[in-house]
Amino acid sequence: MRCKTRHWLGVAIAIVALDQLTKYLAVLWLDYGDPVAIVSGLNFTLVYNTGAAFSILSEASGWQRWLFAGVALTVIVVITLWLRQLGEQQQWLPLALTLILGGAVGNFWDRVALGYVVDFIQIYYENWYWPTFNVADSAISVGAVMLLLSGWITRPRGAETE
């Protein structure tokens, strides 16, 4: 395994550790469903998400746990293999993949071990609330945006006409 690959996998492990620590603290310190105001527009509210992003399929009978775990495991394997193929000089793409990898592992762990994902970060404006999320979701979201931008940012000059 390349030295850089180990570096990126180490970063992913750090993301998983931060995600799991914050989820542990949320479960320890927060009462389920009871918002704790942090600053205007931000609460910590403990919820358990049996669905996917935005609680998609959260009302299903339980089969979704294994579907989402399988999807996450596939993403974990594909990204790990992809990271191994990247050149040593690349930084942006491996960071994007690492963020997605760390987030996927963090939520995969919850789904397999608990049957749901622990969410606790709640952003709102007046009466509009964004779905509650966690550190893993944040890492996945930032990594996905970076991945989408990576082709645009790293495209050689003149490639847009090809």
Q: What is the pLDDT along the chain (162 residues), one digit of tens a residue?
A: 555 888 899 999 999 999 999 999 999 999 999 999 999 999 999 999 876 665 555 555 556 667 778 888 999 999 999 988 887 777 889 999 999 999 999 999 999 999 899 999 999 999 999 999 999 999 999 999 999 998 776 555 555 554
- Report yes or no on 161 lying in a domain: no
Q: Which domain holds residue 80?
A: 3-155
Provide the annotated active-site residues: 119, 137
Q: How many domains does the chain have?
A: 1
- Report yes or no on 85 lying in a domain: yes
Q: What is the pTM of this model?
A: 0.84
- Report yes or no on 37 lying in a domain: yes
- Token digits of residue 85: 């193929």
Q: Are 150 and 92 in contact (CB under 8 A)?
A: yes
Residue 115: CB atoms within 10 A of its CB come to 13
Q: How far apart are CA 98 and CA 76, in angstroms?
A: 10
Q: How far apart are CA 23 and CA 146, in angstroms?
A: 25
Q: Are 26 and 44 in contact (CB under 8 A)?
A: yes
